[in-house]
Structures are given as structure tokens and as C-alpha cells.
Structure 1
Amino acid sequence: MKNSKIDLGLLIIRVGFGLTMMLFHGLPKLMGGPEGWTAIGKSMEVMGINFLPTAFGFTAGLVETVGSLLLILGLWTRPAAILLAMTMLVAATKHLIQGDGWSVASHAIEFLAVYVAFAVMGPGKLSVDKK
């Protein structure tokens, strides 16, 4: 009984975080078009990467959308969680470096922690990965 509650809890977290990221962050980025992708992709400058901002911005939106869908399904959970965590690391770093403070960066840091946890734990038994 205990393990089934843990698996149900993991499913609830996967769906909650996945839907939030996909609907309110990933899809809007994808729909932003090349101008939006370029603006988002310039965030890579905090990592010392100053080329292909449009490609990096599109990739961020794609990871946040498709990676979130994979997280919800529990399909390829660990690779998806790693890519999502990397995206959140860039977002948190950008907020901190540009002086937004911890209260702004905390949202990305919270998502980062959850994605790292899924990369370590996996999706639980209520997932496509476990079927």
C-alpha cells in the first residue's frame, strides 16, 4: 500500500508540474516566433554562449513543451527531466545575474529541484516507462 501512495504522489507531481510548465511556459515560448525565440535564446549569454540565440530560444520552448509532455506521460522521464533541469538552470542563473533577486529566480530554482529529483528517482510505477 505504501509504494502505491508514493507512485500516486509522483504521478500527481508529474502532471501538475508538467501541465504548468507546458501550458504557461513552453507553449507560449514556441508560439512567440523567431523574435521571441531570439530574445529567450540570448539568455545563454549568462553561460558564455553568444551564438545562435534563435535556435537556443526555440530549443528552450521545445524542451519545456515536449519535455513536459514526456514528464506527464512518464515516458523517457530521466532524459526529459535532465533537459528540463538544464533549461531551469539557465533561467535561474539569468535572473540572478541580471539582478532580479532570489524571489524572481526562485520559481526556476523550484522547478530545477523537482526536475533533478525526477532525474534521480524516475517517474514511479504509474508511467509509460514502467509499462
Structure 2
Amino acid sequence: MNETLAAWTPRALSVLRIITGLLIIQHGMGKLLGFPALPMYANVQLMSLSGAAGVIELIGGALLILGLWTQPVAFILSGEMAFAYFIGHFPKGFHPLINGGTLAALYCFTCLYLSTAGAGPWSVDASMKKA
């Protein structure tokens, strides 16, 4: 059983990266493109803190989905999510469940893992290494 699961480990890494990218890109799309439309993202200005976060999320999420420059992109996204947690959530309380920062913390550490583990075999990064 362990050998069978171990054989899928690199592919699971690719799936984790793709899903993480899809989840992050939606925040950037909501802030900058208005889709999906959320009241809290209705008046985001490009030259604001939320606008800058949206740019990082939109571009970083797309690059994660593709698996292009995964390690530096994931590191930047990890930092952005840590920043989001400590600026937007931590002042509301210590515990993530109470302050609403559970997703920011999870994104932060998932991206930190991807920044060390890489993109996995289903990625542009892996294709470029083969060439």
C-alpha cells in the first residue's frame, strides 16, 4: 500500500499546486476583475493595499496553476498571505478561528511548502527541466 501511494506523491504535489493556484486566483479576480462579485471587493482600487494583493493573487495564482516559476512565486504568495494574516486578521484576536484568518494561514503554509517542494511533474517547470 505504501509503495502504491508513494508512486503518486509527485502527482499529488502537482494537484496541490494547481488547486492552491485556483483558490488564490479567485481572490485576485474578485478584487481586480469583479468576478465573482463580492460586496467586500466592490471598491478595491488598484493602487491600494487590497489592489496590490489582488495583483499578486491574480498573477501568482495563474503562475501556480501553470507551474511556472513555482518556487519563487509560492514564496512571494506565502509572504503575502502572512502579511494578510497579521494585518487583516491578527488584530481581531489571537486564534485564527475567531479572527477569520484560517484561510490566510493555510494559504501561507501551503505556499511555503510549495516554495520548498517545487511544482511536481505536471508543470511548466518540469517541462523546462526536461528540455
Provide TM-score, normalisation by structure 1. 0.76
AA in 1 matched with 2:68 = L
Contact 1:15–1:72 (CA<8 Å) still a contact in 2?
Answer: yes
Identity of aligned residues (%): 30
Inter-partner Cα distance in structure 2 for 1:82 and 1:34: 28
Structure 1: tracts of 5 or more residues without a match: 39-53
Amino acid at match of 2:22: L
Q: Does 2:39 match 1:31?
A: no
Q: 1:57, CA displacement in angstroms?
A: 3.0
Q: CA deviation at 1:34?
A: 9.9
Higher helix share: 1
Match of 2:96 in 1: 102
Of the candidates 106, 109, 113, which is equivalent to residue 109 of structure 2?
113
Higher Cα Rg: structure 1 or 2? 2
Aligned to 1:83: 76
* Unmatched segments (≥5 aa) in structure 2: 35-40
Work out whether 1:126 is the aligned partner of 2:122: yes
Separation in structure 2 between the aligned mates of residue 37 and residue 79 of structure 1, nearest angstrom: 26
Mean alpha-carbon deviation: is it higher for 121-130 or for 25-34?
A: 25-34
Q: Retained in 1: the 8 A contact 2:70–2:119?
A: yes
How big is the shift at 1:67?
0.5
Q: Is 1:13 the equivalent of 2:16?
A: yes
* 1:129 partner SS: helix
Q: Does the CA-based 8 Å contact 2:31-2:51 persist in structure 1?
A: yes
Which letter does structure 2 place at the counterpart of 1:66? I
Q: Deviations over 1:84-112 (max 9, x none)?
A: 11110111102012438411111100000
> Alignment RMSD, CA only?
2.4
Give 1:72 deviation, angstroms: 1.0
Runs of 4+ off more than 4 Å? 1-4, 32-35
1:3: how far off? Answer: 5.9
* Paired position in structure 1 for 2:53: 60
What is the alpha-carbon distance in structure 2 between the residues aligned to residue 59 and residue 80 of structure 1?
15
